[in-house]
Amino acid sequence: MTDPLSDVLRSVRLTGGVFLDARFTAPWCIGANMDHGDCTPFLAMPAQLIAFHVIIEGSFLIWLRDQPPIEVSAGQLVVFPRNDGHYMASAKGLQPIRAGHLILPSQEGGIARIDHGGGGARAHVICGFLASEDGYNPLIDALPSMLTIDIREATSRDWIETSVKFAASELVQGRMASSSMMSRLSESLLIETVRHYSATLAPEETGWLKGLKDPQISRALVLIHNDIAAPWSTDALAKEVALSRTAFVQRFTAAVGAPPIQYLTKWRLQTAQLNLRETRKSIAQVANLVGYESEEAFSRAFKREFGVPPAKWREQVPAKQLAV
């Protein structure tokens, strides 16, 4: 049986990897925030970053600014869906040091490392990321700033634990696990975290994640994300998911927060914006790529969403960001 969450995640083009092997001994305290440069070996210019920490050994405190710390320990995963800056420490009351000042460059094909602390209790953390080329990601928008999950309770626990241990052993040997395996692992970690979080949502809550709980609405989301250029109409989507037009619109809007075609249009225009920023495709090519039959119709829709026509918007992007 298809997992709607997995399908939608794959359709929004997520790439994953590991960029840091961090080992601490108490007392220690750092301020951390992933930099776009950390994932350049995997993705040239991500529009969005999701940072995560897999705790391999020990326990420590972790928190966002202006929020109370929580304790995490070996076997747990901490995810920052919007790459918010955060703090990690062996105990309360310690002065943080910027993690970037402690990073040791990679050697012989391995990844960067941190070895820091006062010689006490040990903590070992593998830091990774998921990156999206899409400027608009409804999944990310639906999540809180920090999420935690015990990997040992995950649905795919056996595969995840085996993969994490394999990646950790590769890192210890100064090698890096294959990018395809790390991408799959990173994606699986996010899927399990989101699944765990969505299970805690109250019945009265609405939003993109609630849409995934409805089999027919989740099917519609998968269809949209897998082929945004298709000539979707409300009637066509309703037929695909075996609902009447009225029932489909009501259920989609109640769950996702916007009618289906409004949602599709926003996704198309955000994808167009990405292509205008990062490629040299013509306006007509971009229009066709995201499902518009004419450049004029695309330009009108783009201006309604972003305030300026696509050609004018592209002029504001530095030339060095454009890829061939």
183 to 7, 48, 91, 177: CA distances (angstroms): 15, 16, 33, 10
The answer to whether residues 241 and 94 belong to one domain is: no
**CATH number of the domain that 31 lies in?**
2.60.120.10
What tens digit of pLDDT does each residue of 184-196 get? Answer: 777 777 777 887 7
154 and 286 together in one domain: no
| Residues of the chain falling short of pLDDT 70 | 1-14, 16, 35-47, 107-110, 133-138, 154-183, 203-207, 317-324
Tell me whether residue 106 is in a domain: yes
pLDDT value at residue 34: 73
Q: Are 299 and 310 in contact (CB under 8 A)?
A: yes
Tell whether pTM > 0.75: no
Task: For residues 236 and 289, state if they share a domain.
Answer: no
Q: What is the pLDDT at residue 121? A: 97
- Give the length of the chain: 324
Residue 81 covered by a domain: yes
Residue that is written with structure tokens 């920052």 in the block: 80
**Token pair in block for residue 257:** 């927060």
Backbone angles phi, psi at 141, to 5 degrees: -60, -25
Query: Is 271 a member of any domain?
Result: yes
- In a 10 Å sphere around its CB, with 0-12 CB exposed, 13-18 middle and 19+ buried, how is residue 60 labelled? buried
Segments in the chain forming alpha helices (H) = 4-11, 138-141, 157-172, 179-198, 208-213, 215-226, 234-240, 245-256, 260-278, 283-289, 295-306, 310-315
What is the model's pLDDT at position 227?
A: 87
Closest CA to 225 of 208, 213, 239, 242: 208
The type of residue at 301 is A
